[in-house]
Chains A and B, each alone.
Chain A
Amino acid sequence: MKRGLRELGVICLLAMVPALLAAWLQPKRPPASGADSIASISVGQASALGLGQTVLWIDARPEAAFKAGHIPGAWRLTEGDWETLLPHVADAWSPAAPVIVYCDHLTCDSSRQVAARLRRELPIERIYALEGGWERWNQARKK
Protein backbone atom coordinates (compact mmCIF):
# COMPACT_ATOMS: atom_id res chain seq x y z
CA MET A 1 0.00 0.00 0.00
CA LYS A 2 2.92 2.32 0.77
CA ARG A 3 4.16 1.79 -2.75
CA GLY A 4 0.69 2.60 -4.11
CA LEU A 5 0.58 5.86 -2.15
CA ARG A 6 4.06 6.77 -3.37
CA GLU A 7 2.98 6.08 -6.96
CA LEU A 8 -0.16 8.14 -6.39
CA GLY A 9 1.97 11.09 -5.32
CA VAL A 10 4.15 10.71 -8.42
CA ILE A 11 1.09 10.59 -10.73
CA CYS A 12 -0.44 13.69 -9.10
CA LEU A 13 2.83 15.57 -9.53
CA LEU A 14 3.24 14.39 -13.13
CA ALA A 15 -0.31 15.57 -13.93
CA MET A 16 0.65 19.09 -12.81
CA VAL A 17 3.21 19.45 -15.59
CA PRO A 18 0.81 19.32 -18.59
CA ALA A 19 -1.88 21.15 -16.56
CA LEU A 20 0.48 24.08 -15.94
CA LEU A 21 1.71 23.99 -19.54
CA ALA A 22 -1.85 23.99 -20.84
CA ALA A 23 -2.75 26.85 -18.49
CA TRP A 24 0.17 28.77 -19.92
CA LEU A 25 -0.41 28.01 -23.60
CA GLN A 26 -4.07 27.22 -24.20
CA PRO A 27 -6.37 29.96 -25.48
CA LYS A 28 -9.53 28.74 -23.71
CA ARG A 29 -8.55 29.93 -20.25
CA PRO A 30 -11.13 29.52 -17.48
CA PRO A 31 -12.15 32.95 -16.20
CA ALA A 32 -10.92 33.73 -12.69
CA SER A 33 -14.40 33.68 -11.17
CA GLY A 34 -15.63 30.66 -13.13
CA ALA A 35 -18.13 32.84 -15.00
CA ASP A 36 -18.07 35.48 -17.71
CA SER A 37 -18.18 39.09 -16.54
CA ILE A 38 -21.81 39.96 -15.90
CA ALA A 39 -22.79 43.21 -14.20
CA SER A 40 -24.51 42.94 -10.84
CA ILE A 41 -27.63 44.86 -9.91
CA SER A 42 -29.02 45.44 -6.42
CA VAL A 43 -32.66 44.85 -5.53
CA GLY A 44 -33.16 48.61 -5.19
CA GLN A 45 -31.62 49.34 -8.59
CA ALA A 46 -33.66 46.53 -10.14
CA SER A 47 -36.89 47.96 -8.72
CA ALA A 48 -35.99 51.41 -10.06
CA LEU A 49 -35.16 49.90 -13.46
CA GLY A 50 -38.58 48.25 -13.56
CA LEU A 51 -40.50 51.50 -12.92
CA GLY A 52 -40.26 52.93 -16.41
CA GLN A 53 -40.03 49.77 -18.49
CA THR A 54 -40.68 46.06 -18.58
CA VAL A 55 -37.92 43.96 -17.09
CA LEU A 56 -37.54 40.33 -18.12
CA TRP A 57 -36.84 38.32 -14.97
CA ILE A 58 -35.06 34.99 -15.34
CA ASP A 59 -35.06 32.48 -12.48
CA ALA A 60 -31.95 30.27 -12.65
CA ARG A 61 -32.94 28.02 -9.73
CA PRO A 62 -34.13 24.39 -9.75
CA GLU A 63 -37.76 23.70 -10.62
CA ALA A 64 -38.76 22.86 -7.02
CA ALA A 65 -37.44 26.21 -5.75
CA PHE A 66 -39.19 28.04 -8.60
CA LYS A 67 -42.49 26.33 -7.81
CA ALA A 68 -42.11 27.20 -4.12
CA GLY A 69 -41.91 30.89 -5.02
CA HIS A 70 -40.45 33.27 -7.56
CA ILE A 71 -40.41 36.91 -8.60
CA PRO A 72 -43.76 37.68 -10.30
CA GLY A 73 -43.52 37.25 -14.06
CA ALA A 74 -40.16 35.46 -13.94
CA TRP A 75 -39.30 32.74 -16.45
CA ARG A 76 -37.29 29.75 -15.34
CA LEU A 77 -34.08 29.00 -17.26
CA THR A 78 -31.30 26.67 -16.11
CA GLU A 79 -28.27 25.13 -17.79
CA GLY A 80 -29.77 21.69 -17.16
CA ASP A 81 -32.97 22.39 -19.12
CA TRP A 82 -31.59 24.97 -21.49
CA GLU A 83 -32.93 23.56 -24.76
CA THR A 84 -36.44 23.08 -23.37
CA LEU A 85 -36.78 26.41 -21.57
CA LEU A 86 -34.90 28.82 -23.85
CA PRO A 87 -37.65 29.03 -26.55
CA HIS A 88 -40.15 30.28 -23.91
CA VAL A 89 -37.68 32.88 -22.69
CA ALA A 90 -36.87 33.96 -26.25
CA ASP A 91 -40.62 34.42 -26.94
CA ALA A 92 -41.04 36.54 -23.81
CA TRP A 93 -37.96 38.68 -24.50
CA SER A 94 -38.06 41.93 -26.44
CA PRO A 95 -34.84 43.68 -27.50
CA ALA A 96 -35.66 46.84 -25.54
CA ALA A 97 -36.21 45.02 -22.24
CA PRO A 98 -33.38 44.70 -19.76
CA VAL A 99 -32.91 41.16 -18.44
CA ILE A 100 -32.22 40.35 -14.79
CA VAL A 101 -31.18 36.81 -13.82
CA TYR A 102 -31.31 35.58 -10.24
CA CYS A 103 -30.49 32.45 -8.29
CA ASP A 104 -30.87 31.55 -4.61
CA HIS A 105 -28.52 33.74 -2.61
CA LEU A 106 -25.35 35.82 -2.56
CA THR A 107 -22.94 32.93 -3.02
CA CYS A 108 -24.77 31.10 -5.81
CA ASP A 109 -23.27 31.44 -9.26
CA SER A 110 -25.90 29.97 -11.59
CA SER A 111 -27.41 33.41 -12.31
CA ARG A 112 -24.09 34.56 -13.76
CA GLN A 113 -23.64 31.32 -15.69
CA VAL A 114 -27.14 31.57 -17.18
CA ALA A 115 -26.74 35.31 -17.88
CA ALA A 116 -23.41 34.74 -19.63
CA ARG A 117 -24.80 31.96 -21.80
CA LEU A 118 -27.97 33.94 -22.54
CA ARG A 119 -25.88 36.90 -23.68
CA ARG A 120 -23.91 34.62 -25.98
CA GLU A 121 -27.06 33.16 -27.55
CA LEU A 122 -29.38 36.17 -27.75
CA PRO A 123 -28.45 39.73 -28.80
CA ILE A 124 -29.18 41.12 -25.33
CA GLU A 125 -27.61 44.51 -24.58
CA ARG A 126 -28.55 44.93 -20.94
CA ILE A 127 -28.33 41.84 -18.77
CA TYR A 128 -27.63 41.73 -15.04
CA ALA A 129 -27.28 39.26 -12.19
CA LEU A 130 -29.35 40.15 -9.13
CA GLU A 131 -27.12 40.61 -6.07
CA GLY A 132 -28.20 38.29 -3.28
CA GLY A 133 -30.73 36.61 -5.56
CA TRP A 134 -34.11 35.37 -4.39
CA GLU A 135 -33.07 35.55 -0.71
CA ARG A 136 -32.28 39.29 -0.91
CA TRP A 137 -35.42 39.97 -2.97
CA ASN A 138 -37.55 38.25 -0.33
CA GLN A 139 -35.88 40.18 2.50
CA ALA A 140 -36.50 43.48 0.70
CA ARG A 141 -40.14 42.56 0.06
CA LYS A 142 -40.76 41.82 3.76
CA LYS A 143 -39.31 45.17 4.93
Chain B
Amino acid sequence: MEPSPQKVAVGLTALRWLLAAVFLVAGVSKAVDPAATARAIAHYHLLPAWLAPWAGWYVPWLEISCGLALLSQRLRTGGWLLALLLSASFAVFTGSALLRGLDIRCGCFGPGLGSLRLPWMLAFDLALLLLGSFGLQQRLRLSRGDVRHPDQ
Protein backbone atom coordinates (compact mmCIF):
# COMPACT_ATOMS: atom_id res chain seq x y z
CA MET B 1 0.00 0.00 0.00
CA GLU B 2 1.37 3.41 -1.00
CA PRO B 3 1.74 5.87 1.90
CA SER B 4 -0.50 8.91 1.68
CA PRO B 5 1.02 12.13 0.23
CA GLN B 6 0.71 13.77 3.66
CA LYS B 7 2.76 10.99 5.28
CA VAL B 8 5.38 11.23 2.52
CA ALA B 9 5.48 15.01 3.03
CA VAL B 10 6.01 14.72 6.79
CA GLY B 11 8.71 12.06 6.33
CA LEU B 12 10.50 14.04 3.64
CA THR B 13 10.39 17.25 5.68
CA ALA B 14 11.81 15.44 8.73
CA LEU B 15 14.55 13.90 6.58
CA ARG B 16 15.35 17.29 5.05
CA TRP B 17 15.66 18.93 8.46
CA LEU B 18 17.81 16.09 9.73
CA LEU B 19 20.22 16.35 6.79
CA ALA B 20 20.24 20.14 7.03
CA ALA B 21 21.14 19.89 10.74
CA VAL B 22 23.94 17.39 10.04
CA PHE B 23 25.49 19.59 7.33
CA LEU B 24 25.10 22.77 9.36
CA VAL B 25 26.74 21.25 12.45
CA ALA B 26 29.53 19.68 10.35
CA GLY B 27 30.10 22.92 8.43
CA VAL B 28 30.12 25.27 11.42
CA SER B 29 32.39 23.00 13.48
CA LYS B 30 34.89 22.97 10.60
CA ALA B 31 34.55 26.65 9.65
CA VAL B 32 35.74 27.80 13.09
CA ASP B 33 39.14 26.17 12.51
CA PRO B 34 39.99 26.03 8.79
CA ALA B 35 43.62 25.19 9.57
CA ALA B 36 42.55 21.98 11.37
CA THR B 37 40.14 21.23 8.51
CA ALA B 38 42.94 21.68 5.95
CA ARG B 39 45.18 19.33 7.97
CA ALA B 40 42.39 16.74 8.24
CA ILE B 41 41.87 16.89 4.45
CA ALA B 42 45.63 16.68 3.79
CA HIS B 43 45.83 13.49 5.92
CA TYR B 44 43.78 11.66 3.29
CA HIS B 45 46.50 12.25 0.67
CA LEU B 46 43.94 12.46 -2.11
CA LEU B 47 44.33 16.14 -2.98
CA PRO B 48 47.56 17.88 -3.99
CA ALA B 49 49.19 19.55 -0.96
CA TRP B 50 48.58 23.05 -2.37
CA LEU B 51 44.83 22.39 -2.69
CA ALA B 52 44.19 21.17 0.88
CA PRO B 53 44.32 24.66 2.50
CA TRP B 54 41.84 25.97 -0.09
CA ALA B 55 39.56 23.00 0.58
CA GLY B 56 39.93 23.84 4.28
CA TRP B 57 38.32 27.21 3.55
CA TYR B 58 35.71 26.14 1.04
CA VAL B 59 34.33 22.75 2.18
CA PRO B 60 32.91 24.00 5.53
CA TRP B 61 31.02 26.82 3.80
CA LEU B 62 29.82 24.44 1.12
CA GLU B 63 28.35 22.25 3.88
CA ILE B 64 26.76 25.26 5.60
CA SER B 65 25.29 26.40 2.26
CA CYS B 66 23.99 22.89 1.65
CA GLY B 67 22.23 22.91 5.04
CA LEU B 68 20.72 26.34 4.38
CA ALA B 69 19.64 25.36 0.85
CA LEU B 70 17.84 22.30 2.24
CA LEU B 71 15.96 24.61 4.61
CA SER B 72 15.16 27.12 1.88
CA GLN B 73 12.24 27.07 -0.52
CA ARG B 74 14.00 28.20 -3.70
CA LEU B 75 17.24 26.18 -3.67
CA ARG B 76 15.88 22.95 -2.19
CA THR B 77 16.50 20.66 -5.18
CA GLY B 78 20.05 21.96 -5.49
CA GLY B 79 20.44 21.39 -1.74
CA TRP B 80 19.44 17.73 -2.10
CA LEU B 81 21.81 17.35 -5.03
CA LEU B 82 24.70 18.94 -3.10
CA ALA B 83 23.93 16.77 -0.05
CA LEU B 84 24.19 13.72 -2.28
CA LEU B 85 27.45 14.87 -3.90
CA LEU B 86 29.05 15.81 -0.57
CA SER B 87 28.04 12.49 1.04
CA ALA B 88 29.41 10.57 -1.97
CA SER B 89 32.70 12.53 -1.82
CA PHE B 90 33.05 11.92 1.92
CA ALA B 91 32.36 8.21 1.41
CA VAL B 92 35.04 8.05 -1.32
CA PHE B 93 37.58 9.83 0.90
CA THR B 94 36.81 7.66 3.92
CA GLY B 95 36.62 4.41 1.94
CA SER B 96 39.90 5.06 0.14
CA ALA B 97 41.62 5.88 3.44
CA LEU B 98 40.37 2.58 4.85
CA LEU B 99 41.53 0.65 1.77
CA ARG B 100 44.98 2.25 1.92
CA GLY B 101 45.24 1.45 5.63
CA LEU B 102 45.67 5.11 6.64
CA ASP B 103 45.72 5.52 10.39
CA ILE B 104 43.82 8.80 10.66
CA ARG B 105 40.69 10.28 12.22
CA CYS B 106 38.05 11.59 9.87
CA GLY B 107 37.93 15.26 10.95
CA CYS B 108 34.35 15.27 9.68
CA PHE B 109 32.94 17.39 12.49
CA GLY B 110 35.93 19.67 13.02
CA PRO B 111 38.57 19.33 15.71
CA GLY B 112 36.03 19.00 18.54
CA LEU B 113 33.76 16.22 17.32
CA GLY B 114 36.03 14.78 14.66
CA SER B 115 37.52 11.85 16.54
CA LEU B 116 35.30 9.18 14.98
CA ARG B 117 37.11 6.13 13.63
CA LEU B 118 37.04 5.66 9.86
CA PRO B 119 34.82 2.52 9.74
CA TRP B 120 32.13 4.33 11.76
CA MET B 121 32.47 7.38 9.59
CA LEU B 122 32.15 5.32 6.41
CA ALA B 123 28.93 3.81 7.77
CA PHE B 124 27.70 7.32 8.59
CA ASP B 125 28.64 8.65 5.12
CA LEU B 126 26.88 5.73 3.41
CA ALA B 127 23.76 6.34 5.52
CA LEU B 128 23.83 10.02 4.50
CA LEU B 129 24.30 8.95 0.88
CA LEU B 130 21.27 6.66 1.04
CA LEU B 131 19.12 9.29 2.74
CA GLY B 132 20.30 11.95 0.30
CA SER B 133 19.55 9.84 -2.78
CA PHE B 134 16.11 8.93 -1.41
CA GLY B 135 15.37 12.59 -0.65
CA LEU B 136 16.54 13.76 -4.08
CA GLN B 137 14.50 11.07 -5.79
CA GLN B 138 11.36 12.12 -3.88
CA ARG B 139 12.07 15.79 -4.55
CA LEU B 140 12.45 15.16 -8.31
CA ARG B 141 9.21 13.14 -8.31
CA LEU B 142 7.48 16.11 -6.71
CA SER B 143 9.07 18.54 -9.17
CA ARG B 144 7.82 16.43 -12.07
CA GLY B 145 4.35 16.51 -10.54
CA ASP B 146 4.05 12.71 -10.06
CA VAL B 147 2.87 13.41 -6.51
CA ARG B 148 1.61 16.65 -5.06
CA HIS B 149 2.01 17.48 -1.40
CA PRO B 150 2.92 20.37 0.88
CA ASP B 151 6.72 19.79 0.79
CA GLN B 152 6.68 21.02 -2.79
The reply to whether A11 and B75 form a contact with Cβ atoms under 8 Å apart is yes
Chain B, residues 16-34, CB within 8 Å of chain A (1/0): the string is 0000000000000001111
Task: Say yes or no: is A14 at the interface (Cβ < 8 Å to chain B).
Answer: yes
Q: Tell me the B47-74 residues at the A interface (CB within 8 Å).
A: 49-50, 52-53, 56-58, 60-62, 64-66, 69, 74
B82 in complex: contacting residue of A6, A8, A35, CB < 8 Å: A8
* Bound Cα distance from A130 to B78, whole angstroms: 46
Task: Say yes or no: is B14 at the interface (Cβ < 8 Å to chain A).
Answer: no
The reply to whether B79 and A7 form a contact with Cβ atoms under 8 Å apart is yes
Identify whether the interface residues of B are mostly helix, strand, loop, or mixed.
Answer: helix
* Bound Cα distance from A37 to B74, whole angstroms: 45
Task: Say yes or no: is A22 at the interface (Cβ < 8 Å to chain B).
Answer: yes
Stretch at the interface among B1-9, B87-95, B102-110, B122-130: B102-110
Task: Say yes or no: is B45 at the interface (Cβ < 8 Å to chain A).
Answer: yes
The reply to whether B103 and A15 form a contact with Cβ atoms under 8 Å apart is no
B62 in complex: contacting residue of A9, A15, A108, CB < 8 Å: A15
Question: Chain A contact residues (Cβ within 8 angstroms of B): what range?
Answer: 35 or more
- Across-interface contacts of B104 in A (CB, < 8 A): 78-80, 110
Selected A-B contacts with CB under 8 Å, 30 pairs: A7-B74, A7-B76, A7-B81, A10-B75, A12-B62, A15-B62, A16-B58, A16-B61, A18-B64, A19-B62, A22-B31, A23-B34, A28-B32, A28-B35, A30-B35, A31-B38, A33-B50, A34-B41, A34-B49, A34-B56, A35-B39, A62-B102, A78-B103, A79-B43, A79-B103, A79-B105, A109-B43, A109-B45, A110-B104, A113-B39
List 15 additional contacts besides A65-B101, A79-B105; criterion CB under 8 Å: A4-B139, A4-B140, A8-B81, A15-B61, A15-B64, A23-B57, A30-B34, A30-B39, A31-B38, A32-B50, A33-B53, A34-B53, A79-B103, A109-B42, A109-B45
Q: Which chain B residues have a beta carbon within 8 Å of chain A's beta carbons?
A: 31-39, 41-43, 45, 49-50, 52-53, 56-58, 60-62, 64-66, 69, 74-82, 85, 101-105, 136, 139-140, 143
| Closest CB pairs A-B (n = 10) | A7-B78, A30-B38, A30-B53, A34-B42, A62-B103, A4-B77, A15-B65, A19-B61, A34-B52, A30-B56
